Structure 1
Amino acid sequence: MPGYDPDKDKKIKEWKNEETGLLISIQQYGEGEPKVQIGPRILKKKDGTDRAPSKAGRLSVEDIMWLYDIIDEVKDELSGMVGPE
């Protein structure tokens, strides 16, 4: 059984919370079903550049409110990619 192939991993669409650095994305591996990924979190250094990505971890109220604001757009994007069950 072959292992993970990074060339088959595709990021289809991404949303970023500029305040908290949280990323939400739609990912697809090979011909598999597209799925939503929460995280990573990209924080800023003092000089304004991006730090290395870190796990999303626990979500703050700000993260939840932002997710609530974009969830319909995420759902619509994903629904357009996934056929009916």
Structure 2
Amino acid sequence: MTDVPVVVDLEVDFHSVDETGYIWTWLSDARDPTVIQPGSIVVVGDEDALAMGRIVDLVEEEKGTVVHVDVLPGPVGSYVEAVNRFAASV
């Protein structure tokens, strides 16, 4: 496991699942909204947990833009380690 600090790209409530079956949150909860695009892989989290997520879609609503997130399996550290192994090989 790695001790590299992780920056959360998108704040989520892991219990906020809508009729799509995905976690949802507001685009305004993103650290940098330009990173939040369909297909992007991002770090999501709340005050208790972190996870990797894939942005499924962005839906314009009257109150703002809804972001649907598919939470990816495994701990964030395993993704960091995989990227580090890749970077060391190039």
What TM-score results when the alignment is normalised by the length of structure 1?
0.27
Q: Larger C-alpha radius of gyration, 1 or 2?
A: 1
More strand by share: 2
Asked which structure has the greater RCO (Cα within 8 Å, sep 6+), the reply is 2
